[in-house]
Structure 1
Amino acid sequence: MKSAPIRPNQSFYEFIATANPDDQLLIAQSLRGSMPTVRLNYAQTPEQTLQCLVDYTAEYYNFPRLLILDLAIAEEQLAWQLLEAIRVHYPTLTIVMTSLDHRSETRRQAYTLGAHAFISKSRDWAQWKEQVDGLAHYWLKLAILAGQPLF
């Protein structure tokens, strides 16, 4: 099933799952800067993340088209289990992982478990902001995201 590209005056839902409120705010500001009509939802724990996705399945047209998932949302093994569960239950959901972990093994694990992109977060706030701006530009303006989920 092919979906129509998002136009600047259209809105769609996006989901940010991170335990860091500063990252949440920065990502939200950047996404709204790229697409003012984007509707954002948030979770700060793996449990909230899964429950929100379950709730969204009942609201078919409100289901997010993009999930930004921070590896630091939980202890690393639990975060990997979260990614696996999301990929199994929501195969068309685009997932961008973020992490302060810059090891190649971490990136490899993210891609192996189904992330569409992995961003090694800079510890420098200005550089991290540039990364988030790039993320917003690419995923909201250039990429054609999957359509509504296949349940």
Structure 2
Amino acid sequence: MSALNPAYSLVQLFFVRSVVISIPEHKPESTEEINTENVIDVRRDEQDSKVFVCSMRSSTNIERKPTYPYHIDMEAVCSLRQIDDTLDDALALRGATITAHSVLYGAIREATSWITSRQPWGQIQLGLSVLTTKAEAPGLGEDAEKASD
């Protein structure tokens, strides 16, 4: 398949969790960088083998430390239809994971930026997220991969 013909099409995307909690005790001069934990899960739809159901959850400041302005917990889900029939199962799953990561984390970053821009401590822009393999992210489910910022 050429670079001009994508291997997947986006069927739908929606949020199942959108939590942004302002930390009242936060002092703007004490802002520290806090890592965002990202976990992505990609699997084939049981009803349609050409569709991948993908979810990604991003959590920031889970402990609600006052040195960071917000507690953020977002989760988005998307469906991708495989339109390139030449991919074997392993390559199709890998491609769907990479595509889902780009789509889902982009949506989560955008939503977080928009919501926090209307909060008392101002806008937060989540950093980049990089996929790692299951071997590099022990403790995740069989189909899950970890994305880190």
> Normalising to structure 2: TM-score of the pair?
0.27
Q: Higher strand proportion, which one? A: 2
Structure number, greater radius of gyration: 2
> Normalising to structure 1: TM-score of the pair?
0.27
Q: Higher helix proportion, which one? A: 1
